[in-house]
A = this chain, B = another copy of it.
Amino acid sequence: MTVATGQCCAPIAREPLSETDAAELAVLLKAVADPVRLRLLSMIGSHSGGEACVCDLTDAFNLTAPTISHHLKVLRTAGLIDCERRGTWVYYWIIPAAVARLGALFTPLAEPATT
């Protein structure tokens, strides 16, 4: 009678998350749950040298600099990116451990069973 499509093997489906873990992960996920912030994250990470000048990021969007700054601040507050000012510009880079924490939550450990 079961119509389950097989057990999903990602860690999120291995055991119930604790309230604490769920609260922490929701903060990270809220930070990336936005199209502009996802694109910013991918632009920063894929930029030559693994870091990007805020000037490059702003030019890629049809958004004002304050709006881009707001989104970058959300990502930074969540611990997904960090930055440093050098002269005129601020440079951003991804914090790999934070990205990996999200990946570890959703990545299947084995192929899902097919039924």
A residues in contact (CB < 8 Å) with B: 1-10, 12-17, 19, 22-23, 25-26, 29-30, 32-36, 38-39, 41-46, 49-51, 60, 82, 84, 86, 93-97, 99-100, 102-108, 112
The answer to whether B8 and A22 have CB atoms under 8 Å apart is: no
The answer to whether B46 and A15 have CB atoms under 8 Å apart is: yes
The answer to whether B10 and A99 have CB atoms under 8 Å apart is: yes
- Cα–Cα distance between A84 and B3 once the two chains are bound (Å): 8
Q: Which residues of B contact A93 (CB under 8 A)?
A: 3-5
- Cα–Cα distance between A99 and B13 once the two chains are bound (Å): 9
The answer to whether A38 and B12 have CB atoms under 8 Å apart is: yes
- Cα–Cα distance between A29 and B42 once the two chains are bound (Å): 15
